[in-house]
Structure 1
Amino acid sequence: MLFLLGGNDKKKAKAENTPRTENMERVRELFLNGRFPVVTTDRVEGRAISRVLGLVCCRGYDSDETFFGMAARAVNKGAQAIIGYSENVAFHPDGSKYFSCYGTAVQFERDDKERDRLALEV
């Protein structure tokens, strides 16, 4: 019975030792500014998907770290959005929660307005 009561310390230590993704703060800003969509649907309205980069997922004991960790992995792959987003929460007997976030990282086709804007920025 002792192992049930003492498990929470191990989980906290493991969560603290998990390395943070270098660009997590950048990804957080992109998401909060509406420049990196994460949707539960299979498409983003008004945007055509040109390339599917694959499944991205992240798990952990903190919901924000898990969500933005998943988004950071997508950005590291070169994604411009995540479609088909889903999340699960597991509740442990010791009271802790374990989050799992996953979705499909995608890139969009460039439209003429975006090409013109990129040309002006260079």
Structure 2
Amino acid sequence: MLFLLGGNDKKPTQAEQARTENMERVKELFLAGRFPVVTTEVLEGRAIGKVLGLVACRGYDSDDAFFGMAARAVNKGAQAIIGYQENIAFHPDGSKYFSCYGTAVQFDRTKRV
């Protein structure tokens, strides 16, 4: 009966709160230019030391899909994403569904290109 009176404020779970905090941290890294995301297979001036693998995220909001992908890369220990691509699917109801993906990489600290 309490929910009828407006007392049904759902608190985020610990996992949801951690995911939100992680995405905010990644957003700050990206916007500060400290986590590059490029469409090319190389990053000018940096040698790739280790390929960590494909990272991807999907969602109805472009920011959530993009920063979700970047957060997954950071969680793997990546310093950048190369080969970034995105797709948008348009549904008959008018909604859009965003898919973002790329390759998470670490730089070789001993080499500069």
Please name the residue that 1:14 is paired with: none
| Secondary structure of 2:34 counterpart | coil
Residue 81 of structure 2 is aligned to residue 82 of structure 1: yes
Identity value in percent: 81
Normalising by structure 1, we get a TM-score of 0.74
Identify the residue that residue 32 of structure 1 maps to in structure 2.
Answer: 31
* Partner residue, 1:102: 101
Match of 1:65 in 2: 64
What CA distance in whole angstroms lies between the structure 2 residues aligned with 1:44 and 1:111? 15
> Structure 1 or 2: larger helix share?
1
Q: Does 1:46 align with 2:54?
A: no
Structure 1 alignment gaps of length 5 or more:
1-18, 113-122
User: 1:97 offset after TM fit, Å?
Assistant: 0.1
Q: How far apart are residue 79 of structure 1 and its match?
A: 0.1
| Distance (Å, rounded) in 2 between the aligned partners of 1:89 and 1:28 | 21
Other-structure match for 1:116:
none
Opposite residue 42 of structure 2, the aligned amino acid is R
RMSD of aligned C-alpha atoms?
A: 1.4
**1: distance between equivalents of 2:110 and 2:34?**
16
Partner in structure 1 of residue 4 of structure 2: none
> 2: distance between equivalents of 1:110 and 1:51?
11
Which residue identity lines up with residue 71 of structure 2 in the other structure?
A
How many residues end up aligned between the 2 structures?
94
Tell me how far 1:53 sits from its aligned partner. 0.0
By how many angstroms is 1:111 displaced? Answer: 4.5
The separation in 1 between residues aligned to 2:49 and 2:110, in whole angstroms, is 11
Deviations 1:25-79 (A, max 9, x none): 0000000000000000001100000000000000000000000000000000000
TM-score when normalising by structure 2: 0.80
